[in-house]
């Protein structure tokens, strides 16, 4: 069976809920979940697919726990040739211009590092429970 890691940062638990729903519905994969501050390089090196999940805070900024990982762990050496998908939570009504911008930042960094981006970003607006169908469809498309 193929292996995947889901590495996420979440302040109020929304991105965590999305990560759990994705993991439950990736039926072709053995999936491990890592909070971003606990994610080692092995969590990337030993799997076929890495999913990064991050909510957006401030005005278009990364969720704070994701910042050290983004700055220090996301490198060419780790990500070149690796399949990477990205998802995020945000608020379209109040932050339309920077809706889920953290996911865009992570996708761009992964691309700069030579990763192969899998699928489109999954952007979850407001409550994950109102977006279950889209989250399940995303997980099944991987």
Neighbouring C-beta atoms of residue 44, cutoff 10 Å: 20
C-alpha span between 104 and 22 (Å, rounded): 19
Which residue of the chain is nearest ligand FMN when measured via CB? 90
Q: Which is nearer to ligand FMN, 70 or 83 (CB)?
A: 70
Binding to ligand FMN by residue 59, rule CB under 6 A?
Answer: yes
Binding to ligand FMN by residue 22, rule CB under 6 A?
Answer: no
HSE at residue 65, side-chain half, CA atoms within 13 A, is 19
Min dist CB 35 to ligand FMN, Å, is: 11
Q: And the tokens for 103? A: 């996911």
Q: Which is nearer to ligand FMN, 50 or 89 (CB)?
A: 89
Binding to ligand FMN by residue 60, rule CB under 6 A?
Answer: yes
Strand partners, 8: 35, 53
Q: Which is nearer to ligand FMN, 102 or 142 (CB)?
A: 102
Closest alpha carbon to 138 in 117, 114, 116, 121? 121
**Chain length of the chain:** 142
Site string for ligand FMN, 98-117 (x = CB under 6 A): xxxx----------------
Residue numbers at the binding site for ligand FMN (CB under 6 A): 10-15, 55-60, 63, 89-91, 95, 98-101
């Amino acid at each position: 069976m193929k292996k995947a890691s889901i590495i996420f940062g979440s302040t109020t638990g929304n991105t965590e809920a999305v990560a759990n729903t994705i993991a439950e519905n990736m039926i072709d994969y053995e999936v491990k979940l890592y909070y971003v501050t606990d994610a080692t390089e092995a969590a990337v090196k030993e799997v076929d697919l890495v999913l990064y999940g991050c909510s957006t805070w401030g005005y278009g900024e990364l969720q704070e726990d994701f910042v050290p990982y983004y700055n220090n762990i996301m490198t060419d050496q780790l990500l070149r040739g690796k399949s990477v998908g990205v998802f995020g939570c945000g608020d379209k009504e109040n932050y339309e211009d920077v809706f889920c911008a953290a996911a865009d930042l992570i996708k761009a960094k992964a691309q700069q590092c030579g990763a192969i981006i899998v699928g489109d970003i999954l952007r979850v607006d407001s409550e994950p429970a109102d977006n279950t169908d889209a989250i399940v469809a995303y997980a099944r498309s991987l």
